[in-house]
Amino acid sequence: MTRIAFIGAGSTIFMKNIVGDVLHFPALEGATFALMDINEQRLEESALVARKLIAASGRSAQVETTTDQRRALAGADFVVTAFQIGGYEPSTVIDFDIPKQYGLRQTIGDTLGVGGIMRGLRTVPHLWRVAADMAELCPDATLLQYVNPMAINTWAIAESYPGVKQVGLCHSVQNTVEELAHDLDLPKGEIRYRVAGVNHVAFFLDLTHKGKSLYPALREGYRVGSLPKPPLLMPRCANKVRYEVMEHLGYFCTESSEHLAEYVPWFIKSGREDLIDAFSVPLDEYPKRCIEQMADWADQAKAYRTADQIDFRKSHEFAAEIMNAMVTNQPYTIYGNLSNRGQAPQLPSGAAVEVPCMVDANGIQPTVIDDIPPQLVALMRTQINVQELVVRALVDEDIEHVYHAAMMDPHTAAELDLRQIRSLVTDLLAAHGDMLPEFARLKKAA
């Protein structure tokens, strides 16, 4: 029977989606869900939800809980990671509040920029511990990695644990297709597409409906002001940033406008509140979302606890589809993040790249995409520069590369000079203290 270890199972809503998805597949009948988290209360809540899902599904499955990562991983066939080192407090608060003191504003701060750099420093060492335990306890398992910063994490795992089978997974492609279908009044299942790039900065190279390109309709709608429509998934962000980037670079980005705004130097600029207003850039979006989710969770947990059963629908996450394809040898196509071994020849070797991948009993096999337009390659390289320097800092234990990564970040470099960046990074490192790997720890200023 399939054993699925879930590291960070206290992320109850996400865990619910993955467990519910698995229960849709007859081939995964009898699975054991080994739920692991360091927060015992959240772990207990997640186990309760998982058991009620199993009861509602009518399928046989087992749930184990543990705070011991190695116990959860022992004998696993699949490992799902979904955790945040440092949490909202103190880490997310630090990542936003200290940069603001320098006039550097962010929206999400979990992928690139100084927030993404710090999150990578906090996160990769624990992912390495997961990989090390997998190599010992479940060497044939596949790691389904959902933790941000996705590209930095995927690259760093491949660098230090090349023998561990892994894929970085995200829902940005699926979400974007849903938003485009909403904007164009089309059934999302009828849209055909081909995407490539780096996670969160990948682009729709082909985008068609019944053989006809959708780009003319998107461009015309944006130029006359009928697009974008009020957003389907992110109500605080009007999604104008992606349309503006499409207008100038020619292609639509897979990641939301609130994310994309902080990956590039064009939208969040000191003294340019007109840009913030014109493109509806939601500054501090992620902290606001965290506060709202924490406020809502008590009511959600109570509702789950008192419900006789929990109904569920299949989500659009790839994890369960991957498990089913590998177990049954029935091919399925996903968008996965893997170390570049030639599948994106225009991008640097070793970088984590996102391309279509075919999954079957042979594992996750990427498709070669070699026709990314040069202007998109150039933009992707600006992201890879930062990612590579963070990976080099971690692998080589070289704190100077943390500073270098921030200096190369497009948004940070557009706002701050070199001395400001060095001072900002020093303050961030000091504030995070022992949440960082030892080589990156600084003493707090007196």
Q: Residue 99 in contact with residue 114, Cβ under 8 Å?
A: yes
Structure-block tokens of residue 373: 């337009």
Q: How far apart are the first and last CA of the chain?
A: 56
Known active-site residue 248: no
Report cis status (omega within 30 of 0) of the bond before 90: yes
CA pair distance 191, 213, nearest whole angstrom? 10
The residue to which tokens 């075919």 are assigned: 358
Report the C-alpha gap between 180 and 344 in whole angstroms: 25
Q: Is the peptide bond before 139 cis (omega within 30 degrees of 0)?
A: no
Catalytic residue among 171, 182, 209, 316: 171
200 is in an annotated binding site: yes
Whole-number Å distance between alpha carbons of 198 and 379: 10
How far apart (Å, rounded) are the C-alpha atoms in residues 47 and 15? 9
- The three state secondary structure string of 226-265 is CCCCCCCCCCCCCCHHHHHHHHHHCCCECCCHHHHCCCCC
Query: Which letter does DSSP use for residue 133 in this model?
Result: H
Paired tokens of 92: 């997310």
**Which residues, at least 6 apart from 417, have a Cβ–Cβ distance to it below 8 Å?**
none
Report the binding-site residues for substrate: 148
Any idea which residues carry the catalytic annotation? Answer: 171
